[in-house]
Amino acid sequence: MGIGKFRGSGASAFCAAAAIIIDLALLIVFKYSGFIVENINAVSGLGLPVPQIQMPIGISFFTFQAISYIMDCLWETVPPQKSFWKFLLYLSLFPQLVAGPIVRYSVIEEEITNRRSRPSDVSEGAMRAIIGLSKKVIIANNLYAVVEQFFGGDISNMSFLGTWYTVILYSLYVYFDFSGYSDIAIGLGRMFGFHFNENFNYPFICKSISEFWQRWHISLSSFFRDYLFYVPIFGKQRKYLNLFLVWFCTGMWHGASWNFILWGLYFGIFIFIETKIGKKRMKKWNKVLTHIYSKLIIIIGFGIFYFTDLSKLGQFFLNISGASMILSGNSFSDILTLNSLLNNLFLIIFAIIVSMPVLPKIKYFFFTWGNNKVYAFGKIAGTIICCGLLVLSSILLVDNTNNPFLYFRF
């Protein structure tokens, strides 16, 4: 309200800065105070008491939504919302409140006031939510059970192939867990008449790390691109310094742990390298090699993402590089890995197929390319399949232990 009232003056910028500082201060206190004190103690030898503060669920998501709203008001992308209750509806919209995606005010500004929920919205939204639930319950939970079997304990004796096998499954797990929640959020929003932007666009078909982040967690990467990458540092925009600031913050956003910071900077380094090479040169590269290059970098990155214990992370690098075979005599392969691969082969193949853009091609065939009979058949078949997935997911949840979505903790 202050930004709008003092438009064009220094007071407007002051209001924006004050609001952002307050939002970030709350985020730092709740999410990072313990991490900061622990590191101060480690460096200085002080015995400061480490705060044990319970973190509000979804604080990273709704804090960033608030910041995006403030910046858009400052830049006159959107007018300030004069109704507190409509603003509160935006900030606490339950489908995506606790685990994203980060929805900008400009996306749903009109729908907050003039929202309509048609039967088609309810139908499409319900189907999307069921698909998201199925991703989580049928695929992600089963993948994670295998990952925990291998990575959950001591990994010092893991084989080379066993390490690669497990981290590949973990990469698929993170995708299905988070994209599944995003599907549920988008579907629930659609049922109530809100149209959220997509958060994932089949990231594993990418041919570069830059393209991967244009397809993965789109709401977060676009947030940093728009609100941090172009922010002047010491009076002017500094391309490469801003680039590493973005990736440092991307890592920090995911959690108060050094492995997340390393994970963010790890991707930042490869995006820096790709920026220096240039898009035109990279387009001339062999497509098979670019796919292999990007998948190797992405999969190793998810290993960094998994291990919050830095000593385990170091052992992970020894295992995945093959160095542990030389230094510790670890095996190249092992019977446990081969048995697990055979027992879960159908799940793995199914997960890989679903992670590719197969569903859009099927939908295009039935709902765009085909005639009325094909369209009707597609609608009926889609409804039956979704009902089957809902029943199967419900059955799997009955006797299941608690498996919260991974991004709840961020």
pLDDT digits (tens, 9 = 90+) for 193-225: 999 999 999 999 999 999 999 999 999 888 888
Closest residue by Cα to residue 230 from 219, 239, 220: 239
Closest residue by Cα to residue 294 from 210, 173, 381: 210
Cα–Cα dist 220/104, whole Å: 11
Q: Is residue 398 part of a domain?
A: no
Which amino acid appears at position 241 of this protein?
L
Structurally, how many domains does the chain consist of?
2
**Residues 137 and 40 grouped into a single domain:** no
Q: Mark which of 306, 330, 355 sits at the end of a domain.
A: 355
Residue the block writes with tokens 């291998």: 150
Q: What is the pLDDT of residue 342?
A: 94
**Residues 103 and 215 grouped into a single domain:** no
Taking the CA of residue 125 as centre, how many other CA atoms within 13 Å lie in the half-sphere pointing to its CB?
19
Q: What is the pLDDT of residue 138?
A: 92
Residues spanned by the domain of 108 = 2-113
Q: Is residue 317 part of a domain?
A: yes
**Which residues of the chain are under the pLDDT cut of 70?**
232-237, 369-370, 400-410
**Residues 175 and 54 grouped into a single domain:** no
Please name the residues in contact with 183: beta carbons below 8 A apart, sequence gap of 6 or more: 128, 129, 131, 132, 135
Q: What is the pLDDT of residue 42?
A: 85
Residue the block writes with tokens 């793995």: 348
Please name the residues in contact with 206: beta carbons below 8 A apart, sequence gap of 6 or more: 212, 214, 215, 294, 298
For residue 233, the SS3 value is strand
**Residues 139 and 104 grouped into a single domain:** no
Please name the residues in contact with 154: beta carbons below 8 A apart, sequence gap of 6 or more: none
**Residues 134 and 163 grouped into a single domain:** yes
Closest residue by Cα to residue 271 from 298, 306, 310, 289: 298
Q: Is residue 372 part of a domain?
A: no
Closest residue by Cα to residue 150 from 292, 306, 352: 306
pTM of the model: 0.90
Q: What is the pLDDT of residue 234?
A: 58
Q: Mark which of 331, 355, 379 sits at the end of a domain.
A: 355
Q: What is the pLDDT of residue 278?
A: 86
**Residues 67 and 179 grouped into a single domain:** no
Q: What is the pLDDT of residue 235?
A: 60
Taking the CA of residue 355 as centre, how many other CA atoms within 13 Å lie in the half-sphere pointing to its CB?
25
Containing H/E element for 19? helix 10-27
- How many CB atoms are closer than 10 A to CB 105? 21
Query: Tokens representing 215?
Result: 């397809």
**Residues 198 and 181 grouped into a single domain:** yes
The catalytic position among 195, 217, 254, 291 is 254
**Residues 157 and 182 grouped into a single domain:** yes
Cβ-contact 134, 385 below 8 angstroms: no
Q: Is residue 361 part of a domain?
A: no
**Residues 165 and 76 grouped into a single domain:** no
For residue 405, the SS3 value is coil
Report the chain's mean pLDDT, rounded to a whole number: 89
Is position 254 annotated as part of the catalytic site? yes
